[in-house]
């Protein structure tokens, strides 16, 4: 079942494909929107092309109506992205951001291995 994302409010500027949000948390929310989701405002549907940060997304075409400020909106999850695929993508993104601070091993780390802040993932052999 898809759920709408409606956190915060948005401003859309005429002839711009950038949506500016206030209190939207598009990049850091646990249930954050993703590329391919549907952005809806004033009964018009746009595709989310990029989540730039917590307060900016890019839609698939410029907004061609008069500039709107502090407007409620909705983002509907893409039906092609299940909860599991979204979770897998978020885990992958997190691991990529952590870079060399993540170690996968079949044994637990010994005293003196690694440095503060390292993350060890112990997988069954």
Mean pLDDT value across the chain? 84
Q: What span, in angstroms and rounded, lies between the C-alpha atoms of 36 and 81? A: 9
Q: Which CATH class is domain 4-81?
A: mainly beta
Domain boundaries, the chain: 4-81
Its pTM stands at 0.65
Whether 2 and 77 have beta carbons less than 8 Å apart is answered as: yes
- The pLDDT score that the predictor gives to residue 17 is 97
> Is the dihedral angle over the CA atoms 40, 63, 79, 32 positive or is it negative?
negative
Strand 102-105 relative to strand 119-122, pairing: parallel
| pLDDT tens figures, 15-41 | 999 999 999 999 998 888 888 899 999
Assign 59 a pLDDT band (cuts: 50, 70, 90): very high
């Amino acid at each position: 079942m898809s759920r709408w994302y409606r956190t915060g409010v948005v401003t859309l500027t005429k002839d711009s494909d950038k949506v500016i949000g206030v209190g939207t948390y598009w990049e850091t929310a646990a249930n954050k929107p993703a590329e391919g989701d549907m952005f809806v405002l004033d009964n018009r549907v746009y595709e989310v092309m990029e989540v730039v940060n917590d307060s900016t997304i890019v839609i698939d075409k410029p907004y061609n109506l008069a500039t709107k400020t502090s407007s409620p909106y909705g983002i509907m999850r893409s039906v092609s992205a299940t909860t599991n695929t979204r979770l897998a993508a978020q885990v992958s993104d997190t691991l990529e951001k952590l870079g060399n601070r993540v170690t996968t091993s079949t044994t637990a780390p010994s005293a003196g291995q690694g440095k503060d802040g390292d993350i060890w993932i112990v997988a069954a052999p």
